């Protein structure tokens, strides 16, 4: 990628004409009309994010984390905070920058803050370096400037794929036959997918079937019920106990 073409890569820390173009094309984000997200990119120096799918661009006025929470709630997918607690407890998926996942796709954050880029590892076509900077290219043609090095980027994508495969095995193990994570992942024929196929983390499952779901249900109950039980004013209003 030469210097002129670098203007065709979105940078969440620098405004450009590309941001103007994408904002003009973007439609208001309605989580019920979006089925799979390729990436969520914060708008530099402004509130809100752009959400990219295979064919559309959506605009949300709230930050990336709140947008993802809204999407999860609309589709009855996992609560990100609860899922993160579970993944940390299991100890096989790292201790920070946890991915978000549902049975159909996953997203991983590039940095540990609310307003950061979230990427779908299955939708990544390539990652490369040009003029001392790293870039990611997605299968829909979008290019993004990365705020971290290639090795860390690949590791986070690898973990997100392992979490996705583990959740899919727990949900679909009767319908999908397989013994390793790659059996539950559907990669496109891209350089990045071929790279992920050879990663050691995706050669073996680290947890028993359904372990994430079991721990999630347990943790979800504690996470949402304990604050109510600790507040005597609220406890009188819990009719379902």
pLDDT cut 90: percent of the chain above it: 70
pLDDT band at 239 (very low <50, low <70, confident <90, very high): very low
Q: What does pTM read for this prediction?
A: 0.89
Averaged pLDDT for residues 51-64:
97
Residue 51 has a pLDDT of 98
pLDDT band at 13 (very low <50, low <70, confident <90, very high): very high
Residue 230 has a pLDDT of 52
Sheet holding 49-52, edge to edge: 27-28, 57-60, 49-52, 39-42, 118-119, 106-109, 100-101
Per-residue model confidence as pLDDT tens digits over 151-193: 999 999 999 999 999 999 999 888 888 899 999 999 999 999 9
Domain boundaries, the chain: 5-226
Sign of CA dihedral 153, 154, 160, 164: positive
pLDDT cut 70: percent of the chain above it: 89
pLDDT band at 139 (very low <50, low <70, confident <90, very high): very high
Residue 94 pLDDT exceeds 90 = no
Residue 1 has a pLDDT of 44
Residue 61 pLDDT exceeds 90 = yes
- Pick left, alpha or beta for residue 167 (phi over 0 → left; psi -120 to 50 → alpha; otherwise beta): alpha
Averaged pLDDT for residues 5-27:
91
Residue-averaged pLDDT of the chain: 88
Q: What secondary structure does DSSP assign to 194-225, as a single string?
A: HHHHT-GGGSS--S-TTHHHHHHHHHHHHHHH
Residue 197 has a pLDDT of 95
Cα Rg for the chain, rounded, in angstroms? 19
- From the list 141, 144, 145, the residue with the least C-alpha distance to 133 is 145
Per-residue model confidence as pLDDT tens digits over 209-237: 989 988 998 888 776 665 544 555 554 44
């Amino acid at each position: 990628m030469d210097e002129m073409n670098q203007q065709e890569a979105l940078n969440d820390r620098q405004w450009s004409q590309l941001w103007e173009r994408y904002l003009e094309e973007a439609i208001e984000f309605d989580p019920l009309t979006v089925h799979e997200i390729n990436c969520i990119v914060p708008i530099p120096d402004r509130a809100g994010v752009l959400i990219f799918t295979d064919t559309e661009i959506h605009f949300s006025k709230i930050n990336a984390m709140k947008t993802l929470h809204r999407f999860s709630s609309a589709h009855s997918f996992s609560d990100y905070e609860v899922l993160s607690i579970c993944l940390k407890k299991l100890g096989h998926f790292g201790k920070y920058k946890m991915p978000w996942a549902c049975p159909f796709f996953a997203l991983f954050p590039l940095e540990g803050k609310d307003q950061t880029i979230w990427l779908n590892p299955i939708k990544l076509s390539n990652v490369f370096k040009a003029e001392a900077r790293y870039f990611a290219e997605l299968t829909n043609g979008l290019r993004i400037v990365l705020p971290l090095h290639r090795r860390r980027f690949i590791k986070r994508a690898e973990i997100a794929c392992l979490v996705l495969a583990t959740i899919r095995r727990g949900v679909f193990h009767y319908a999908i036959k397989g013994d390793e994570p790659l059996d539950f992942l559907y990669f496109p024929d891209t350089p990045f997918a071929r790279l992920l196929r050879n990663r050691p983390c995706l050669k073996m499952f680290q947890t028993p079937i359904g372990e994430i779901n079991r721990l999630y249900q347990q943790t979800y109950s504690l996470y949402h019920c304990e604050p109510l039980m600790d507040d005597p004013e609220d406890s009188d209003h819990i009719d379902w106990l």
